[in-house]
Amino acid sequence: MIFSLIVDGLAVGSVYALVAVGLVMLVKSTGALNFAHGDFMMISTFVAYSLLVQLELPFWVAIVGALAFAAVLGMVAERLVIRKLMTGPMSGIIMGTLGMAYILQGIAKIVWTDDIFKFPEFFPGDFVKIGSASISPQSIGVIISAIIIITCLYLFLNLTKVGTGLRALTQNKTAATLMGIKVTKVYSLSWALGGILAAFAGILLAPALYLSTGMGGITFTGIIAAIIGGFGNMFGAIIGGYLLGILSSVIPVYIPTELQGIIPFVLLMLVLFIKPTGILGKKMVKKV
């Protein structure tokens, strides 16, 4: 039983990791914490649902269409909202992204209503027996898919010229600008990638959970995962996501239902109490 719960937790943690990585990447590259990230995920997943179920397009066409929509949405958000707010205080960016979140929720409610939809499973089949544990093919598929996505992102950031430019911007904006990197284009790219990661997270989560306009609340879970891992560290975001997913799956077996909702926050407080910078976070050194 515990083994199957851990596998289910790894599947949920895979989604948390994708959300957390997307959030961290945007913070490191543009300095903006996107509170609409979960709603990017939600509306992109609705687009995938419409293409796949309502228009009955082939699986890969629907997925590519949803990812393309998410990339365009991210670039439009960066160009019309974030770029105009970046010269102001962080509070302006926070309120701007919160505004985008409510706008996207409103659009989704008008187009798709506030009902709960069943998203088709991508990995159907009978449960896999490992000893006494029964493992869902959906969980295995989500874990493998997330690993592939994260690996592709890592290779893109480390083996391509564009990815290297994005990494350079995250480390030192001034130096990157002096080296000829076009900051505005990299900003648009990072928001497009953020949108794609959000779409992948929603497409992997919806079959195991549900599809509704309330899915955007996962933004705060992603933020918690990123803080647990060490905000600003992508590998930390991955670790935080998987750790949060496993514990959120296993611990509910041993505690009352009323307390299950506080698990992420208790874990967050414990990690910050032991290591305030997060698991992989680096301590800031004050310059005298």
CATH number, domain with residue 79? 1.10.3470
Res. 161: pLDDT tops 90: no
Q: How far is CA 4 from CA 19, 131, 137, in A?
A: 23, 10, 11
Q: How far is CA 244 from CA 79, 109, 117, 207, 234, in A?
A: 33, 30, 26, 20, 15
Contact 167, 16 (CB under 8 A): no
What is the reported pLDDT for 285?
47
Res. 64: pLDDT tops 50: yes
Contact 186, 29 (CB under 8 A): yes
Structural domain contains residue 127: yes
What is the reported pLDDT for 96?
92
CA-based max dimension of the chain: 63
Structural domain contains residue 280: no
Res. 192: pLDDT tops 50: yes
This prediction has a pTM of 0.90
Dihedral angle computed from the Cα positions of residues 99, 226, 30 and 28, in that order, rounded to the nearest 10 degrees: 170
Structural domain contains residue 284: no
pLDDT class of 283 with cuts at 50, 70, 90: low
pLDDT class of 42 with cuts at 50, 70, 90: very high
Q: Which residue has the higher pLDDT, 124 or 266?
A: 266
What is the reported pLDDT for 198?
94
Domain count, the chain: 1
Containing domain of residue 215, as a range?
Answer: 2-274
Mention every residue, 6+ apart, whose C-beta is less than 8 A from residue 144.
Answer: none
Q: Where are the beta strands (DSSP E) in 57-191?
A: 128-130, 133-135
Mean pLDDT of 118-128: 79
Mean pLDDT of 264-282: 87
Structural domain contains residue 181: yes
Structural domain contains residue 286: no
Res. 184: pLDDT tops 50: yes
What is the reported pLDDT for 131?
67
Q: Which residue has the higher pLDDT, 121 or 49?
A: 49
What is the reported pLDDT for 75?
93
Task: Give whichever of 166-170, 187-191, 231-235 has the largest mean pLDDT.
Answer: 187-191
What is the reported pLDDT for 165?
78
Structural domain contains residue 281: no
